[in-house]
Structure 1
Amino acid sequence: MLKKKLTVWIFDATGTPVQKASIPRLLLPMGMLLFIGAAIMVYLGITDYLRLKDANQSIPNLRANLQTQAELVDHQQHQIAAFTLKIEQLKGQLADLHDFEQKIRVIANLDPKDSGESIFGVGGSDPEEIDPTTMIEQDYQDLIRTMHDEINEMDHASHDQQNAFASIFSQLEGKRNLLAATPSIRPVKGWITSRFGRRQSPFTSRSEFHRGLDIATRAGTPILAPADGLVTYSARKGLMGNMITIDHGYGMVTRYGHIQTLLKKKGQRVKRGETIALVGNTGRSTGPHLHYEVRLNGVAVNPMNYFLN
């Protein structure tokens, strides 16, 4: 039968046993377990201490990284806001180009676009629709999707606008020669003393039809060609005195009477704004002035209808 106690002898310095003690047999393994448990606790404590020490040392780096990430996010948000603002500015410029196109069509008497047509399409965004300050608070994917849609819409609108201007250029190209041949500027500066239409003759006091404008100014004032053309007459002609006739093409002809000095000869080509003669008082005239006529297909028309200046 196993003893419940363990006998232990205590020896003095000389090795002589002086005392005998009895220790319960279960106390030894329990002591060993307690020792092992204490060792484990000490080990875990030291490990936790070292881990906390390392973590405490990495806190400044973590803070620096967080600060860097926060600054990067803030910079990206401002970039996105600036990008969305730029999108809206470009959309506004496209809208302005669209309005400018409409004005050109009106001025050049071209076919206008449908007034209800929009360069951003039905249901598209207006130029003021995107607010950059609120967009950066949206979900990132929603924000990217919205910006992608806006860019696609602008790309489509820019292609439409490019095609529209190409169409205008093509139509204006066909009318360029006609516009160059239209007498659109005043041939001389001065006072209109007699207009186109019926008037009382200053010589006979009888009613007559005046086929042009009389523009009074001092003798020697330059007379300008109101459009491109070919000089078909440059000589004296009865009551008109010295006279020049310019054929502008497309059935358009202009005549200039009472000239002092003829500067262009028959057969010469002239450009709009070029000096062709000097104002005079030749022929039947009451003073220095220019008699100016515009004829369309041989019929005298009112020159005032063509002046742009």
Structure 2
Amino acid sequence: MRKKIKIWFHSGATSDIKEFSIHKAVLGFISLISISAIAGASFIGYDYLQLKKISFNTGILDQTIIEQNNEIKSQRSQIQSFAGEIEILKKQVDSLSVFEDKVRLIADIKQTSDSSGLIGIGGIPRDDLDQDIPLEKKHNNLMREMHQQVGQTNLAAKKQALDFEHLIKMLEKKRNLLASTPSIRPVDGWITSKFGYRTSPFTGRKEFHAGLDISNKSGTKIIAPANGRISYAARKMYIGNLVVIDHGHGRVTKFGHLKKILVKQGQQVKRSDVIALLGNTGRSTGPHVHYEVRINGTPVNPLKYILN
């Protein structure tokens, strides 16, 4: 068997044919080296491509992480803003509740249900809103707490709306009563004698003073403290010129020692209408108006019915 392989070649059409002989073992070795080199180059090339792919994917992942971190900070900022809005909403609901209580006190309307429901709801800790805290840390608890507070505040707001609706209905019913309730000063001036027991300037004895004496210049205008009807407008012994207003609902006001009466019996008047001029008629020690408030015939302290 031949152990050599002959190879003939020529470089051109007119050149001589040259012959080479190569041993089979050498040719096999060269072939093996060539195949190994090709395989090694292919492996290195494949490995290089994989490394480039991994590097590319790593760059994308790094960019994704940066974007997610920015999104986390943005979410924290939004949550912090949302928490602030929740606190503002809670304060507004509380303010409405306080306002409702004041209106009910003035109008003498009792609360028919429990409070607004915001009592006991704490604020969101500021530390939980730190934008640098990892999203997974305290995030679930924070979101759960905010969700709970939003729910409670929403229920409180709905209840407050129902309370106001009930209050409006009650105020409608009491509107005539409120309009007929004395609530303002009948005249500006100085209080020279209060309601209650005093020493009489005429007898020197202790006696009950059923009204309030307010002094000012003679001729100062006197106004009605509430809506009503003039039930008396004439001169009367001791108290001089007298005007009595029947406000309905058992409420009556009296004005004595007037210089001049400007209304007539049976006339309807409204709060702030001028009804007379301050004077010194009847048994009096100087220009003033004797002002009385009576509820179901019983004199009460007029100061309790002066809000201005």
TM (norm. structure 1) is 0.78
Alignment correspondent of 1:215: 214
Q: For residues 32-90 of structure 1, what are the alpha-carbon distances to aligned partners after superposition, in whole Å with 9 as ceiling and x for unaligned?
A: 24323322333444455566668778988776665444433322221122112222332
The superposition leaves residues 131-175 of structure 1 with CA deviations (integer Å, 9 ceiling, x where unpaired) of 552586453555544433332222112111222222333333333
**Which of 240-249 and 210-219 deviates more?**
210-219
Please report how far the alpha carbon of residue 15 of structure 1 lies from its aligned counterpart in structure 2 after TM superposition: 3.7
Distance 2:285 2:22 in 1: 161
* Secondary structure, counterpart of 1:291 in structure 2: strand
Partner of 1:41: 40
* Greater Cα offset, 137-146 or 280-289: 137-146
SS in 2 for 1:239: coil
For 2:167, give the aligned amino acid.
I
Percent of paired sites with the same residue: 43
Mapping for residues 50-129 of structure 1, pairs under 5 Å: 67-112=66-111, 119-120=117-118, 125-128=121-124
CA drift of 1:299 comes to 3.2
Aligned residue pair count: 301
Structure 2 vs 1, CA of residues 120 and 175 (structure 1 numbering), >3 Å: closer, same or farther?
same
Give yes or no for contact 2:116–2:160 (8 Å, CA) kept in 1: no
Segment of structure 1 superposing worse, 37-46 or 201-210: 201-210
Match of 2:90, SS state, is helix
Contact 1:229 1:270 in 2 (8 A): yes
Secondary structure at 2:238 match in 1 = helix
Corresponding residue number in structure 2 for 1:282: 281
What is residue 242 of structure 2 aligned with on the other side? 243
SS at match of 2:253: strand
Deviates more, 1:139-148 or 1:234-243: 139-148
Q: SS of the residue aligned with 2:218?
A: coil
Residue pairs, 1:147-166, within 5 angstroms = 147-166=146-165
Scaled by the length of structure 2, the TM-score of the pair is 0.78
Give the gaps of 5 or more residues in structure 1.
Answer: none
How far 1:249 moved relative to its partner? 0.5
Determine the C-alpha separation between the residues in 1 that align with 2:18 and 2:129: 95
Tell me the C-alpha RMSD between the 2 structures: 3.6
Distance 2:208 2:142 in 1: 74
